[in-house]
Amino acid sequence: MACLRCWVEYETAKTIVIRNKVVGSVFRLIQFLIILYVIGYVCVVQKSYQVNDSVISTVTTKVKGTGFTNISGLGAHVWDVADYNIPPEGESSFFVLTNMIITPNQMQSSCPELPNQSTICMSDCDCTEGSSDVRGNGIQTGLCVNYSETVKTCEVLSWCPLEIDTDLPERNILPDVNSSYLKQCEFNRITDPHCPIFRLKDMVAEAEEDFQTMATRGGVLGILIDWSCDLDFPEHYCGPKYSFRRMDNKNPENNVAPGYNFRFAKYYKTTDDVETRTLIKAYGIRFDVIVFGTAGKFNIVPTIVNVGAALTFLSLVSPK
């Protein structure tokens, strides 16, 4: 009975009311500041009432333009998108070939290793049959053969002739500057900040890099797309913000291999059914499209933001 009475009690603190203008005004001021913080900062600035979701997005890209080279040995050669854009699929990361070392007509055979401290030899005793150097080009046959008239090196089983990649061409590469044929629009930080069509040179310039250097040695350029939307507003206020930034470490001191390059090969068969290949050490700019942002909104369904508008990149290597 006492317990039930206990349940229907109401307990409250005894309060004193001080009727003093100074004390009262200070109290009201403090109350006002707290309300200002909650409404002004927490609700309006921080939007803490919104539930933030990471952006779920997909990216399609498209590269356009034609290049021209006149390399001794290869002759005049026109490069179109199927030649210089690797891989071709137009995903969020794509590569534009700007420089290269070509080693044509390689065949599985044996040839003298490139000369360095561990491959130069005097006689067959200096070479070990079957050994393979991590930084070498093949499997040693155990023979010591003439690399040049003065130098002998260990012979290796490999794709011969070996690639000599010490002389990187310092080509004069001109990104296209003529823009008269662009469809619809072209990205410009000031006049057209939402247009998803970019020029190579503009992107490199926005990242505050030198196009000529980056094209010769290669590098990774991030295309950062910020979809920090405020879904309190109607959807059409929510546009992407583009920025560009070099993502690889161009400082040779901190880096194992500055620049960006990779090797790939095109395989052929001769009329005698022997496999040959053309090895290409490709230097160029890899573009990584990175989408981020918190598309804040009041419900929890994951946002799917479509960044599917084709990014078009313009001409790569101009004729001399």
Closer of 76 and 150 to a second copy (Cβ): 76
Residue 281 marked as a ligand binder: yes
Closer of 51 and 151 to a second copy (Cβ): 51
Shortest distance, CB of residue 56 to a second copy, whole angstroms? Answer: 6
Which residue from 48, 172, 188, 255 is in contact with a second copy, where contact means CB under 8 A? 255
Residue 95 marked as a ligand binder: no
Q: What is the CA radius of gyration of the chain?
A: 32
**Binding to a second copy in span 228-247, by CB under 8 A:** 245, 247
C-alpha distance from residue 290 to each of 53, 190, 226, 249, 310 (Å): 16, 22, 9, 18, 15
**Binding to a second copy in span 176-195, by CB under 8 A:** 176, 178-179, 181-184
Q: Does 252 bind a second copy (CB under 8 A)?
A: no
Residue 262 marked as a ligand binder: yes
Closer of 34 and 150 to a second copy (Cβ): 34
Q: Does 274 bind a second copy (CB under 8 A)?
A: no
Question: What residue has token string 């946002």?
Answer: 303
**Binding to a second copy in span 33-92, by CB under 8 A:** 54, 56, 58, 60, 62, 64-66, 68, 75-78, 80-83, 86-91
Q: How far apart are CA 59 and CA 159, in angstroms?
A: 38
Contact by Cβ (8 Å): 141, 129: yes
Single-letter amino acid code for the residue at 134: V
Query: Element (H or E) spanning 62, and its range?
Result: strand 56-63
Q: How far apart are CA 208 and CA 218, in angstroms?
A: 15
Shortest distance, CB of residue 216 to a second copy, whole angstroms? Answer: 17
Torsion (CA) 266, 72, 285, 247 in degrees, nearest 10:
110
Residue 64 marked as a ligand binder: yes
| Binding segment (CB under 8 A) for a second copy, from list 146-154, 164-172, 204-212, 283-291 | 283-291
Which residue from 24, 40, 193, 239 is in contact with a second copy, where contact means CB under 8 A? 24
Q: How far apart are CA 99 and CA 115, in angstroms?
A: 25
Shortest distance, CB of residue 86 to a second copy, whole angstroms? Answer: 6
Which residue from 52, 171, 226, 238 is in contact with a second copy, where contact means CB under 8 A? 226
Question: What residue has token string 């950062």?
Answer: 224
Size of the site for a second copy (CB under 8 A): 114
Shortest distance, CB of residue 35 to a second copy, whole angstroms? Answer: 15
C-alpha distance from residue 26 to each of 23, 30, 34, 88 (Å): 5, 6, 13, 69
Tell me how many degrees the CA angle 218-219-224 measures, rounded to the nearest 5.
145
Cross-strand partners of 56: 304
**Binding to a second copy in span 88-147, by CB under 8 A:** 88-91, 93, 95, 108, 118, 130-139
User: Which segments are annotated as binding site for ATP?
Assistant: 62-64, 261-263, 281
